[in-house]
Amino acid sequence: MTDLYLRDRWFEDLPVGEFHVFGSHTFSELEIVEFAESFDPRPESTDPDQARLNHRQGLVASPWLVTAMWMRKMVDYMEVYAQGVNDGRRNGAGVAINDLQWLEPVRPGHTLTYTYEIIAKPDRVIREKWGLIRSRNEAFNQYNNKVMQFEIDILAERQPQESDDSQQ
């Protein structure tokens, strides 16, 4: 078996249609409360008793906790699959999100599975060396209901042109 890792691939090598399952995460009450204390410190979002009176009738994860966990699962996945995230090609940064929707509440004990699919490679060159990889990302709970979706454009380094004599 050849050692074909993501880190060895340039923008040009990443095919539309490539699909990955980044992994799963079970959300604890503690992490839901801790995140809310920092980013939505209303009692109905941080206190399990008061949360019973809210419109969700109980604690639910902040939408940004659900989405930030996608980022963590992607980084963890790339560390294994791409043999480390220190390679510049894997650290090109996200620049734009479209159509981010939180479809169902995520409660303590729920387990989400995060998926990623490359859906487009917009024809743009950014700062002379980056291309854009557009992916559709989804999270499903343990009932197989989709709870989150979004598209993100992430920079990927283009292969340097060997014939380019003007390199400095």
Using DSSP, state whether 123 is helix, strand or coil.
coil
155 near other proteins (CB under 8 A): yes
Q: Is 113 helix (H, G, I), strand (E, B) or coil?
A: strand
Q: Does 75 bind other proteins (CB under 8 A)?
A: yes
Question: How far apart are alpha carbons 133 and 137 in whole angstroms?
Answer: 12
Compare residues 118 and 152 and give the one whose CB is closer to other proteins.
152
Determine the straight-line distance between the first and last CA of the chain, rounded to whole angstroms: 38
d(CA 114, CA 65): 13
Q: Which of 68, 108, 138, 146 binds other proteins (CB under 8 A)?
A: 68
Residue from 13, 42, 50, 120 touching other proteins (CB under 8 A): that is 42
C-beta closer to other proteins: residue 118 or 154: 154
Q: Are strands 146-157 and 19-26 parallel, antiparallel or unpaired?
A: unpaired
Chain positions contacting other proteins, by CB under 8 A: 35, 38-42, 55, 62-65, 67-69, 71-72, 75, 85-86, 88, 91-102, 150, 155
